[in-house]
Amino acid sequence: MNEIDLKGRIAVVTGGAQGIGFAIARRLVASGARVSLWDNNAAVLADAKLALGDAASTVEVNIASYDAVEAAVVATEQALGGIDILVHSAGIAGKNAPLDEYELDEWRRVIDIDLNGAFYVNRAILPGMKARNYGRIVNIASIAGKEGNPNAAAYAAAKAGVIGMTKAVGKECAKYDIAINAITPATAKTRILDELKPEFIDYMLSRIPRGRFLEVEEAASMVAWLVSKENSFTTASVFDLSGGRATY
């Protein structure tokens, strides 16, 4: 494992108690950062805190509520100090259904969490980064945001929105020492698969030329460099992590 120097950095990882988020949090801690794990599940937060030790703190937060996100920023800054790093990983897959049969409430739920939540978290944390003229943000999008997946239009639309938002805000903040990028992972074996039909999971695997799912540690390795001081030039960009699936 390459050594990335994050000593003295304060990081927030949303969805940080499980899956890709937890793997990223673990890598950031190993690199010397102190990490605030944001999640809406108190039980998994407690387990993650136990696993990561004193370098981690936790905040239970619903990212679909801007008031809750603002309160989480205040709690994190009071506990740890100014936030240098944001990795926004929280999200849901939503149900599988053709668009013309997609439940309206389910569409709104996916957009509220996966797109509006990304906006809320970035919006709440960015002012502090601007004031300190330093920050690194990685928004976890998805290969679905580039290529779309049939019977998952809400998720694909939300992740495409995250990609577009990241490119826009990265350009807005280019005059600061703030790098804002996104990654587009293919499917990893995490709890998010519990929401999906087995045939849909098989479809997604069949689309990956590597012939296997993403390992969460592979995502953590890419993110660790993107949130380091070494990434001083690249911003408003999207990094593929799809095992060869992406065509652009």
- 25 Cβ partners below 8 Å, 6+ apart? 11, 13, 16, 35, 37, 48, 52, 56, 87
The CB-side HSE value for 68 (13 A sphere, CA atoms) comes to 14
What residues are labeled active site? 155
Torsion angle of the four alpha carbons 66, 156, 93, 27, in this order, in degrees rounded to the nearest 10: -80
Confidence (pLDDT) at 213: 87
Q: How would residue 247 be classed by pLDDT, with cut points 50, 70 and 90?
A: confident
pLDDT at residue number 246: 87
> What secondary structure does DSSP assign to 30-68, as a single string?
HTT-EEEEEES-HHHHHHHHHHHGGGEEEEE--TT-HHH
Starting from the edge strand earliest in sequence, which strands make up the sheet with 10-14, in order?
56-60, 34-39, 10-14, 85-88, 135-140, 178-185, 238-241
Give 97: exposed, middle or buried? Use CB within 10 Å, 0-12, 13-18, 19+.
Answer: middle
- How many Å separate Cα 45 from the centre of its chain? 16
pLDDT tens digit string along 89-128?
999 999 999 999 999 999 999 999 999 999 999 999 999 9
Lowest-pLDDT range of 37-41, 84-88, 154-158, 243-247: 243-247
Bigger pLDDT: 187 vs 174: 174
Type of residue numbered 133: N
pLDDT-derived band at 195 (thresholds 50, 70, 90) equals low
Kindly indicate the confidence band of residue 193, based on its pLDDT and cuts at 50, 70 and 90: low
Pairwise CA distance, residues 90 & 117, whole Å: 8
For the cut 80, the answer to whether the pLDDT of residue 131 exceeds it is yes
Domains of the chain as residue ranges with CATH = 10-241 (3.40.50.720)
Statement: residue 69 has pLDDT above 70 = yes
Q: Is the pLDDT of residue 194 over 90?
A: no
Q: CA 212, 155, 42 angle in degrees (round to 5)? A: 85
